[in-house]
Homo-oligomer: A and B are copies of this chain.
Amino acid sequence: MPSTIGTVLTVTLFGQSHSPAVGCVVEGLPSGHHVDLDELQAFMDRRAPGRASWTTPRTEADIPRIVSGLNEHGRTCGTPLAALIENTNTRSQDYDELRRVPRPGHADFTAQAKWHGEQDVAGGGHFSARLTAPLCVAGGIALQLLAERGVRVAAHLAAVADVTDEPFCATELDDASRTRLTQQMDALADGRAFPVIDTRAGEAMQERIAQTRAEGDSVGGVVECVCTGLPAGIGSPIFDGIESTIARMVFGIPAVKGLEFGTGFAAAGLRGSQNNDRYRMRDGRPAPQTNHAGGNLGGITTGAPVLFRMAVKPTPSIAQEQDSVDLMAGTDARLAVRGRHDPCVAPRAVPVAEAAMALAVLDSWLAWPASDPSCDRY
């Protein structure tokens, strides 16, 4: 099921950029959770387009309508929750043109190859970043369920091109570092318009984005995401490890080209004596002293923060005219991408990363084989 993910908590995404609606079906939500619709909307708004100079001017209300899965008290009733977001701001398009000349960097050509020309071409169809809206509906609900369990998730824009934000303080696990990480997460939860820890870095990033847009170009970035408050023991062996679970979801987000956990690629340059996270007793419990592992070993959580970084490529839609081909004529062609585009999609990918983290972590938690969920019985 290509547009479905999850083991116990599953999410199915449907819709195309210009179909009547996009939406999701979420199966496996524990019953009895009150879905806070205002909080969900606030989360959706962080992803929504048209809110700032760095996003596409296409504006969509992005208000999800939940058509099933709640009981009369607005609480999850144990059966599939379906939500719809109407596509109100679609535009009539020149379908013939779209079908002939694929946009470089988009899935136009590959969708054509896969479905022999029957794909929905308008706006990228099912491959549009618009599908991250229903992913955020599912993720927003997962975040609420995790909050009830004492788990927090936060992400920020770690880099735009070579302008970098302060990284999450999640490799050292001493008291001072824990305090700093909490401060960082609090700051990000504070509703800031541009999702960075260091607001000056954020200004530099926005400047870079504005400049790139002015040149008819786009730019990439890196999103960093952290999850705290998880007990040890979440995740399952081999292909259902927390890393595999997050990875399958993260690479389902349009434009992501790289993913690393904890020290990540830099670990390839370290020695075992540097990269190993040693244990010490802490408040009567075993705890890793450092967190090069990004909060998991063998795909199972250690109790330390789970942390990943994902690389977001520059938006393929650029104002500059580009080389392409005419698939019907079988000739070379030139293409000027029209339409409304983000010069940098990375900022809007920040809440999407949180949604992915929340869904992957909650699914792994629910899939955890029963019995005592404490990890203190050593």
Contact call A14/B20, Cβ cutoff below 8 A: no
Query: In the assembled complex, which residues on chain B have CB atoms less than 8 Å from the CB atom of A106?
Result: 297-298
Known: A117-B377, A120-B79, A259-B247. A332 touches B272 (CB 8 A): no
What's the minimum C-beta distance from A44 to chain B, rounded to whole angstroms? 18
A189 cross-chain contacts in B, Cβ below 8 A? none
**Contact at A236–B2, with CB atoms within 8 Å?**
yes
**Which residues of A333-360 have CB atoms within 8 Å of chain B's CB atoms?**
346
CB-CB nearest in chain B for A27? B1
Binds B, one of A56-64, A193-201, A273-281: A273-281
Q: Which residues of B contact A142 (CB under 8 A)?
A: none
Check B369 against A14 for contact (C-beta < 8 Å): no
Interface membership of A89, Cβ < 8 A: no
Chain B residues, Cβ within 8 Å of A263: 257, 313
Residues of the B chain whose Cβ atoms lie less than 8 Å from the Cβ of A10: 1, 4
Which one of B126, B221, B279, B293 lies within 8 Å of A237 (CB-CB)? B126
Contact assessment for A27 and B12 in the assembled complex, using a CB-CB cutoff below 8 Å: yes
| Cα–Cα, bound, A46→B297 (Å) | 26
Q: Which residue of B lies closest to A258 (CB)?
A: B260
Q: Are B275 and A220 in contact (CB under 8 A)?
A: yes
Bound-state Cα–Cα, A265 to B164, Å: 14
